[in-house]
Structure 1
Amino acid sequence: MLSLSAKGLAHGEICAHLGEVYGAEVSKQTVSAITDAAMERMAEWQNRPLDPVYAVLFVDAINVKIRDGSVANPSTWSWV
């Protein structure tokens, strides 16, 4: 619902969309209340205090097939 509002749909259009797609009858006031509550929660999340440091783990891999008469995965791994 919030994405529909962000795309510029009016609350009436959102109600019509929810009715067509999900068969749900929702009033304009309900759409407005949900949108307002979600926007309020998003603003709280955006303004939350951040930790000074975040741990990051980067993992990279490659899958290599070896052709020696038939295609197979290598039986031994070489770690760098």
Structure 2
Amino acid sequence: RKRQRRLNGIDEVVLSLTAKGLTTGEVAAHFDEVYGARVSKDTISRITDKVLGEMAEWCNRPLEGVYPVLFIDAIHGKIRDG
């Protein structure tokens, strides 16, 4: 819209694309190609910088000694009678 500063949900999309390994330039190109919106590399960097503290906290969290895991295996086969 006219005079709109940001697209709705841009932060989530930027963080998702960055988490998948895209560079700031690739994210900017993605927004231009998909949404037709120009987003600067600086804006993308500011968005990702907002979560750096949370990311560092999550990476340094204490881990449990044991994590339960459940493996389920099955075979599905068609059997015809006669």
What TM-score comes out, normalization by structure 1 length? 0.58
1:38-65 deviations in Å (ceiling 9; x for gaps): 4443332221111112111111111122
Q: Distance in 1 between matches of 2:28 and 2:65?
A: 43
Q: Where in structure 2 are there 5+ consecutive unaligned residues? A: 1-16
Runs (4+) off by over 6 Å: none
> What's the counterpart of residue 43 of structure 1?
56
> What's the counterpart of residue 59 of structure 1?
72
Aligned-residue RMSD, C-alpha: 2.2
RCO comparison, higher one (Cα < 8 Å, 6+): 2
Q: Where in structure 1 are there 5+ consecutive unaligned residues? A: 6-10, 70-80
Greater radius of gyration (CA): 1
SS in 2 for 1:33: helix
Q: Which one has a larger percent strand, Structure 1 or Structure 2?
A: 1
**Count of aligned positions:** 64
